[in-house]
Every structure is written in C-alpha cells, then in structure tokens.
Amino acid sequence: MNCPEPFQATARYRPQLSDARASLTQEVTAMDERGRVSSIHIPAERPLTVYVDKREIVTLMTLGGAPEALTLGYLRNQRLVRTLEDIVSIQVDWSVDAVAVVTRNGIADVEERTAKKVVTTGCGQGSVFGGLMDEVERITLPQDARLPQSVVYRIVELIRTQQSVYKQAGSVHGCALFSREGELLYFVEDVGRHNAVDAIAGLMWLDGMEGGDKVFYTTGRLTSEMVIKGAQMGIPFLLSRSGTTQMGHMVAQRVGMSLLARCSGKHFLLLAGHERLVFEPELLEPLNAPYHSARPA
C-alpha cells in the first residue's frame, strides 16, 4: 500500500485519553396526530469545540459516543497532525462541551492551514480544509485487493441486524469497518457521517490498523468528502446503502477506489473499481426466474 506517510499505522504509542462517552439518546414527550402522548428517544446531539494547544479549531456537532476518537480522526483526516506521536493528550470535558488537545510541538502554519475551507454536502459541520484536495492525486490504493460478492452480502446483512441508535431513535448516520472476510471491526454512529468516519479513523490509528485489506460501509451518501477520507485511511472498498455524487464518483476513479452504492439485500451498483469485485453469479436467481413481488397481494 502506498498511502501518504502520515497515515501509516503504528501501535508503538498512544496519547493520554479521557473516557468521556456521553448518553447517545434523550427521552422526550411527543404527541401524535390524535393528541396521544408518549415518550420517545431522540439522538442527543451536542457541540464539541476542539482546542489544539489552547487554540480553537472547530466545533463539531456529535452524539458524543466516541469523542476522543472523533477528535483524533478529525485532526488526522484534516492532516493537521502528521503522526500519532505528535499528540500528548486528548481530554474531553462535557461540562464545557470542549476537548483540549495538547501536542508536542504545535501545528506548523495552523492559521494558514485552517483558513481555507471547502464546504461539503455532508450534514452537520462537514468541511474539508482546501489543501486536502491537492493531496488526492498522491494517494494510491492497493491494486491487488479483491472483494467477493458473497462478502458484500454478508456485510449488508450484518449492518441490517446491527443494534443501533438509528433503530431506537433515528436521525443518525452509521459507519462501519469490516475485514475483507466480512468481520465487523468497528461500528460508530453520529449525527453526521463525516463524524462517524473520523471516529473510525481515530480508532484505526490508535489500534495501529492498516486499511489496505479493509472494507468501509456508510449509511450516508458517498460524497467527495467521504471518498477522500476513505482513501486517506488506505481503504480500497467503500460501500453505502445510499447513492453517490458526481464528485464522489470522480475522486473514487482518480484514486482507484471500488465504490458500491445502493447496497440493499442482494442489490448493489458498482460504480468504480470494477476489477476488484469478484462476481459470484451462483448467488443470484437466474434472470428468467419468476418475479416475486415483496408487496402483499
């Protein structure tokens, strides 16, 4: 794998981390169209302002399920921190809705590097610092990675049966990292899919995990931001139950990523990186098989 040097995995060092996970849902009272009152759960969205060496960088809207990993992944995917060893500590304090990051030597040219932003189509606080767009051309994903069609189906089924905040309260996005055999490694939900992918990036970095033999799944759209972050993590396969955008498709083709959209049941649309998918036609009914409607008679 020939990913940019800052994203090579390492397990030699871990910064000092707080453990400040917050409640993911909040119970509220709702009234339906008949005036009936009931209690329901909604996602507990909250702001998290990131300070690096006492300098305010960004405010992320998050569920708060993995705030330390989210902060680390955000700094990594924005390329504000080059190596894990550069970080001394990440401490979250929900009493002030803030996280304090202490680095060893500061962030070089931090004002210039955080001044230019590209607003993305991601929900919530989605944005990519402009310099990242210039680095896409340098990312090369492993050419020999292959993904069997049966594993795609296994991943889709595992996600369908996964216990989640979405099933309880809705209004969130989920992201997951799988092995090439379809084993679930991480599952993170947040109010924005960009937060969920950043949290998984942070967990991978902390655990010294490479991405070249992994599969990434998201419930949200495959936008340019999502594709860029997946490529930065060195992952050759990106799956979604939703669709893609023109720029997401373009970036996937440019970096050589396999992009699978509309993944549901045994249906998917392979939009880029066709050579990596191992088709298994025996898993499907013949095209001339009788059509059975899912709707009741």
Torsion sign across C-alpha atoms 5, 134, 253, 201:
positive
Q: Has 263 been annotated as catalytic? A: no
- With a CB cutoff of 8 Å and minimum separation 6, the contacts of 114 are 57, 58, 80, 129
Whole-angstrom Cα distance, residue 135 to residue 129? 11
> Which pair of tokens denotes residue 118?
């590209």
Whole-angstrom Cα distance, residue 89 to residue 69? 12
E strand or H helix at 155: helix 149-161
Whole-angstrom Cα distance, residue 90 to residue 106? 14
- With a CB cutoff of 8 Å and minimum separation 6, the contacts of 156 are 239, 241, 263, 264, 265, 268
- With a CB cutoff of 8 Å and minimum separation 6, the contacts of 230 are 197, 216, 238, 257
Q: Which positions are annotated as active-site residues?
A: 123
